[in-house]
Amino acid sequence: MINKPKIAVLCNNRMAVPALQSLHAEGRLCAVGVAEGNTDVIDFCSWLSQSGIPLFIISKENRSVQIIEMLGTTAADYILTMTFPWKISPELLHDYPDTFYNFHYGLLPEMRGADPVFESLRSRAKETGITVHAIDEAIDRGAMILKKNIPLTADMTHGSLCTRLSWLGAGLLHELIVLLQAKVKGTQQDEQHARYFPKPGIADVCISWQKQDAETIEALARACNPWNKGVYTQWNGWNIRVVEATVVHGMDSHPGLPGTILSLDKEQGFIVKCNHDTHLRLDLVYTDEGFMSGHKLSAFGLKKGGQLINL
């Protein structure tokens, strides 16, 4: 009879929570490591320590020593990383072969990088998923042990997709464990199809009215919701973030520049001209004053014919 393997998890995000709950319910979870400073996840995982599962608070500088302590204390057969922010050292990978596996919340090798959820939504990809791969010295390049795809729908936000992927991750654990116990080495990634996307910077979360059409901006707003409270634009030096928007079809062509406010009332909403003579209704926005329907910005001086800044 195959023994039930002991599994430790290194995480830094609530996306790991359903998998932790599933492993704990099956009696497989032997330890959890959380990056220091992440009080939300640390607080949530405190219930595990109360049930006898050791919780390790991992620091960037001492992570190798702490992971070795975790392995020695728990005799974990496998360590799964789920949104863990730091690399596993080459020495650990050498000393503990076939032990470390990463849950990448995107499809490899096409979506390498720190936030494949953001990039999948921004690029309006047709599908995404989870790729579980062996960890090696190069980021996101290890052999793929298991890949599960799901379709992307036009209403998904960063938050809703993260939740969907977190449950997908919990659901594939049984199949993954069977593969690991069978010593499956996985499939090497095709470097010809590989693309790497860095963590989104400020330029990635700002609207360029003169370069982006309505569909592009709408997708970007969903990719920034809720973690960035939307995508940035400006009016009169005032920061406005578009949280939710709708592409408007069938409007007449307007001679104004992209970024021109075409409507700002309760009946039609807050409609802005975008590149390629497309139009976008800004349904929900965020400012320092709070979240509000787009048309309510008229109370702050915005008017039809006004111009949003091209960031």
> What is the DSSP code string of 99-112?
-EEEEESS-TTTTE
Q: Say whether 66 sits in a helix, a strand or coil.
A: helix
pLDDT tens per residue, range 50-84? 889 999 999 999 999 999 999 999 999 999 999 99
Residues 150, 127 contacting (CB under 8 angstroms): yes
Instruction: Indicate whether 22 and 42 sit together in one domain.
Output: yes
Q: pLDDT tens-digit profile of 256-284?
A: 999 999 999 999 999 999 999 999 999 99
Asked if residues 38 and 12 have their Cβ atoms less than 8 Å apart, the reply is yes
User: Are 161 and 33 found together in one domain?
Assistant: yes
Tokens of 158: 């960063």
Which of 182, 197, 212 marks a domain boundary?
A: 197
- The CA radius of gyration of the chain, in Å to the nearest whole number, is 23
CB atoms within 10 A of CB 278: 20
Distance CA 213, CA 276 (A): 6
Q: In the structure, what pLDDT confidence band is assigned to residue 1 with cuts at 50, 70 and 90? A: very low
What is the torsional sign of CA 116, 219, 293, 287? Answer: positive
- What does the pLDDT look like over 139-162, one tens digit per residue? 999 999 999 999 999 999 999 999
Same domain, 193 and 206: no
pLDDT of 72: 95
Measure the CA–CA gap between 263 and 272, rounded to whole angstroms. 7
Average pLDDT, the chain: 95
Domain interval for residue 60 = 7-197
Q: Identify the residue with better confidence: 2 or 236.
A: 236
Task: Answer yes or no: are the C-beta atoms of 217 and 242 closer than 8 Å.
Answer: yes
The 10s digit of each residue's pLDDT in 195-245 is 999 999 999 999 999 999 999 999 999 999 999 999 999 999 999 999 999
DSSP line for 271-292: EEEEGGGEEEEEEEEEETTEEE
CA 1 from chain centre, in angstroms, equals: 39
User: Can you give the CATH number for the domain in which 106 is found?
Assistant: 3.40.50.170
Q: Quote the number of domains for the chain.
A: 2
* 251: amino acid identity, one letter: M
Provide the β-strand partners of residue 307. Answer: 260
Task: Calculate what percentage of the chain has a pLDDT beyond 90.
Answer: 92
Q: Are residues 172 and 295 in the same domain?
A: no
Q: Is residue 119 a part of any domain in this protein?
A: yes
SS3 content of the chain, % helix, strand, coil (to 5): 30, 30, 40
Whether residue 262 contacts residue 273, with contact meaning beta carbons closer than 8 Å, is answered with yes
192: how many CB neighbours lie within 10 A of its CB? Answer: 6
Same domain, yes or no: 178 and 218: no
Query: In the listed set 197, 225, 256, which residue is the last one of a domain according to the structure?
Result: 197
Domain closes at, from 145, 179, 197: 197
How far is CA 152 from each of CA 20, 43, 247, rounded to the nearest angstrom?
Answer: 25, 32, 18
CA angle 236, 206, 304 (to 5 degrees): 40
Q: How far apart are CA 303 and CA 84, in angstroms?
A: 46
Beta strands in 18-94, from DSSP E residues, in sequence order? 29-35, 55-58, 78-82
**Confidence class for position 2, pLDDT limits 50, 70, 90:** low
SS3 42: helix
Q: How would you class 125 by CB atoms within 10 Å of its CB: exposed for 0-12, middle for 13-18, buried for 19 or more?
A: middle
Residue 309 resides in a domain: no
Amino acid at 45: C
